[in-house]
Copies of this chain bind each other. A is one copy, B any other.
Amino acid sequence: MLGSVRTYGQYCAMARGLDLVGDRWTLLIVRELISLGPSRYADLQRGLPGIATNLLANRLRELEHAGLVARTELPRPANATVFALTERGAALEGIVREFVKWGAPLMATHAPDDTFRPHWLLVPLRGLCHDATPGAPAQVVRVGTAADGCDIAADAGTVSVAPSSPSTTPDATVDGDPDALVALFTGRLPIAAADAAGMITGDVEAVRRVVGGTPASLGAQGSA
Contact = CB atoms under 8 A, between A and B. Distances in A.
A202 interface: no
Copies of this chain assembled into the complex: 2
A86 B222 CA distance: 10
Contacts of A67: 223-224
B11 A99 contact: no
Given A66-B224, A91-B222, A102-B95, A31 B11 contact: no
A98 interface: yes
A10 B88 contact: no
Contact of A11 (B9, B10, B100, B116): B116
A217 B90 CA distance: 18
Interface residues of A, number: 58
B88 A94 contact: no
Nearest to A116: B11
Contact of A102 (B17, B101, B124): B17
A132 interface: no
A177 to B, nearest CB: 10
Given A11-B182, A87-B221, A94-B102, 16 more contacts: A9-B111, A11-B110, A11-B116, A11-B179, A12-B31, A12-B117, A13-B107, A14-B28, A14-B31, A14-B103, A15-B103, A16-B107, A68-B224, A94-B98, A94-B101, A95-B95
